[in-house]
């Protein structure tokens, strides 16, 4: 049974640009909120579409890894902070049912054929 208080620990953020995403990650350790056990970015392709330099893309990857490591250290022996970064491929973008591609990305073992969904 899920604890109803766990839903209040979910925090959604939607940075509007790669610069805003970089700033969010760089300052995440200063946030007074509870330490997260998961960092999730779905839609990396939207930030890469801004055509960042190789240096910005490398910095973004390093910030994600560093932020997850920092939060894992803060959680200590009680847990670790996972990291999931996903992007939509061109094949998924051209699919007739993009919601099925999204489900397959996060649940690859599921059989999503469009019937019954």
Identify whether residues 41 and 94 lie together within a single domain. Answer: no
Where the chain has pLDDT below 50, the residues are 116-117
Residue 32: its pLDDT value, please? 80
Identify whether residues 112 and 66 lie together within a single domain. Answer: no
Question: Which has the closest alpha carbon to 49: 14, 83, 103, 90?
Answer: 90
Identify whether residues 58 and 19 lie together within a single domain. Answer: yes
The total of structural domains in the chain comes to: 2
Q: Please tell me the distance from the alpha carbon of residue 14 to that of residue 37, in angstroms, as a whole number.
A: 18
Residue 4: its pLDDT value, please? 53
Identify whether residues 81 and 99 lie together within a single domain. Answer: no
Identify whether residues 44 and 99 lie together within a single domain. Answer: no
Residue 100's domain comprises: 90-117
Identify whether residues 100 and 75 lie together within a single domain. Answer: no
Identify whether residues 96 and 46 lie together within a single domain. Answer: no
What value does the CA radius of gyration of the chain take, rounded to a whole number of Å?
16
Strand bridging mode 82-86 / 38-42: parallel
């Amino acid at each position: 049974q899920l604890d109803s208080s766990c839903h209040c620990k979910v925090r959604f953020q939607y940075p509007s640009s790669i610069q805003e995403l970089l700033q969010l990650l760089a300052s995440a350790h200063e946030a007074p909120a509870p330490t997260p056990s998961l960092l999730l970015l779905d839609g990396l392709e939207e930030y890469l579409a801004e055509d960042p330099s190789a240096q910005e893309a490398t910095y973004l990857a390093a910030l994600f890894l560093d932020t997850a490591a920092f939060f894992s250290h803060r959680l200590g022996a009680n847990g670790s902070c996972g990291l999931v970064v996903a992007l939509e491929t061109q094949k998924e973008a051209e699919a007739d049912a993009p919601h099925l591609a999204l489900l397959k990305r996060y649940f690859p073992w599921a059989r999503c054929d469009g019937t019954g969904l």
